[in-house]
Chain A
Amino acid sequence: MATGPVVWKRGGSQSGGVAQAPRPGGAGESGLLSAVLIISFLALELTLLARAAQGRFVSQFPFFYSAAAFMLLSGVVVTVMYLSVSPYYPHAAWFRLLMSILIEFAVVVEISDHIFKPYPVIRLLGRSLALGICAIFFVLYVLPSLVESQQASLIMLEFVKRTSLTKAVAVLSLLTAAYYYRLPLGKNISGMALGFCVYLGINIINFALAEAYGPARYARTLGVVWPLSYTIALLIWTVALWRYQPVVLTARALPSGTRRAPEPLSDELERFNTELTRLLRR
């Protein structure tokens, strides 16, 4: 999740990587836009959390709302530090940026749990799928970019871009599995996934542009588009999570005329496996 309106600027500290800490936009049109984005971010984030608290459904989406609460609190702290010209601002901004990249995985876990948890047979499919994809992408795609010797800012751009793509692939895999099994998603999870994908999609383009044009030339645009993407996601999430609307699950219907109780699921699965294998062994 974005850190609120930021621009990557040189200066502000004496130490290498921290020297290019994300900073809110300066004066002029960019500064005004940044201020609007900060206010929108705070207003939407507060609305999202307040609605969940009012509707008493925070506990239904624990990972998602924990991530949202972290973004709100850390956003307020970092903005106050910037406005008060604190010397610790660059360190705090970097810490928040790195934490937000990690915390975004909580949204993937939340989507996974809500899609698959009600179904005992594939309860672990979502987390296994997400974990497997993230592990494979990390080893083959994210890690190589970290070990390349280049500027700290370029490594960070590459890291954000690649982790965004990893999360996008993980979410799309979960949605594909849900589509394959025709699992109902509900308005809450659909909105959460759509907002997250929009945010990740914009992030991927934004950070690819930043990499192509260089952090120095693209810094101002990056600093506006990044928080803008998060604000769009927040808007989608606020609409989708305005009310808690759980998916109504119906028990599997027994065929007409059947009176006996259904077999345990493990027995039925075993029967599918053995009977099919038996038939194909003929």
Chain B
Amino acid sequence: MSSLLAYSIIALLVVIVAALLLRPRYENASAEAEIGAEYVEGLWVGPGWSLAERIFDSSDYLWLRDELGFPQLAEALTCSRQQMAIKWLKAVRRSFDELVRTPEPLLPSGTASDAPNSWELLRLTLRFHLILGYAFLVVRFFGPYHRLVPAFGWMRWLPGTHSPGERYGAAHGVRLP
């Protein structure tokens, strides 16, 4: 009987969840698409990139704590930066989701398509979600200044990736508690 009850609840849940997931949404889809495009464009260049670098840069924290001797202020700064980092990561995710929703362009008849390999695109998508999910966890539990380098060491063996030194020069992050 317990099995019957369990299956009955599961069956009800199937219908309810399906109905919830299928309910109409996106009244403002075009406006959202435009906002998403702005995010995509601004995240990795100019002020957007500077802001991201600043959020994850620990030099202000160290300056407050070690040079000025205000550990409480340094902790407050960390909390504030942690919230900003989470918001920034959410913006990155939103931009990425907007990119994922890009429909296939209609090509004129006779035009050869140079569409990339779908498996490669799916691999990059899943890889991004993996990195972003990990970043969310680390920022939420350890703060924005926790160095993530050791966790990504295995990535140098993934196709298309290189060691940080080869690609971007030496990182100047400082391991913090």
Residues of A within 8 A of B (CB): 118-125, 128, 161, 165, 168, 171-172, 175-176, 178-185, 190, 193-194, 197-198, 200-205, 208-209, 211-212, 249-255, 258, 264-266, 268-282
Whether the Cβ atoms of A205 and B122 lie closer than 8 Å is no
B128-153 interface code vs A (CB 8 A; 1 in, 0 out): 10011001000000000001110010
A-side contacts of B18, CB under 8 Å: 171-172, 175, 193-194, 197-198
Pairwise interchain contact B56-A280, C-beta atoms closer than 8 A:
yes
Q: Which residues of chain B are near A272, meaning CB under 8 Å?
A: 92, 95-96, 99, 124, 128
Within the assembled complex, what's the spacing in Å between the Cα atoms of A179 and B57?
35
Residue pair A119, B25 in contact (C-beta under 8 Å):
no
12 contacts across the A-B interface (CB closer than 8 A): A119-B102, A120-B116, A181-B97, A249-B103, A250-B103, A253-B37, A265-B121, A266-B124, A273-B124, A277-B131, A279-B53, A282-B171
Taken together as a complex, chains A and B put the C-alpha atoms of A211 and B3 apart, in Å, by: 10
In the complex, the answer to whether A121 meets B102 with C-beta atoms within 8 Å is yes
* Apart from A211-B3, A252-B37: 6 A-B pairs, beta carbons within 8 A: A198-B15, A266-B120, A269-B99, A269-B125, A269-B128, A277-B155
How many residues of chain B are within 8 Å of chain A by beta carbon? 73
- Distance in angstroms from A169 CB to nearest chain B CB is 8
**Shortest beta-carbon contacts, A-B, top 7:** A208-B7, A197-B18, A204-B11, A249-B103, A266-B116, A269-B124, A175-B21
- Choose, from B28-36, B60-68, B69-77, the stretch at the interface: B28-36
Contacts of A183 in B (CB 8 A): 101
Tell me which residues across on chain B come within 8 A of A123, comparing CB atoms.
118, 121-122
How close is B145's CB to chain A, nearest CB, in angstroms?
Answer: 9
Contact B11 A279 (CB under 8 A): no
- Cβ of A265: which chain B residues have Cβ within 8 Å of it? 99, 102, 116, 121
Q: Give the residues in chain B near A165, CB-CB below 8 Å.
A: 7, 10
Q: Is B157 an interface residue (CB 8 A)?
A: no
State whether B44 touches A250 (Cβ < 8 A): no
- Smallest distance from the beta carbon of B158 to chain A beta carbons, Å? 10
A197 to B22, CA, bound (A): 11
> CB within 8 A of B10: which of A178, A204, A264?
A204
Verify B118–A120 contact, CB threshold 8 A.
yes
Q: Which of B95, B116, B125 contacts A122 (CB 8 A)?
A: B125
B79 in the interface (beta carbon within 8 A): no
Q: How far is the CB of A148 from chain B (nearest CB, A)?
A: 14
**Quick check: B168 and A281 within 8 Å, CB to CB?**
yes
Give the docked Cα–Cα distance between A181 and B38 (Å).
18
Residues of chain B within 8 A (CB-CB) of A276 are 92, 128, 131-132, 135
Residue ID in chain A nearest B105 by CB atoms: A251
Report A-chain residues with C-beta under 8 Å of the C-beta of B53: 279, 282
B168/A252 in contact, CB under 8 A: no
Tell me which residues across on chain A come within 8 A of B97, comparing CB atoms.
Answer: 180-182
Q: Is B108 an interface residue (CB 8 A)?
A: no
- Residue of chain B at shortest CB distance from A190: B22
User: Could you tell me which residues of chain B, from 1 to 58, have a CB within 8 Å of some CB in chain A?
Assistant: 1, 3-4, 7-8, 10-12, 14-15, 17-19, 21-22, 25-26, 29-30, 32-34, 36-38, 40-44, 52-53, 56-57
- The smallest beta-carbon distance between B149 and chain A, in angstroms, is 5
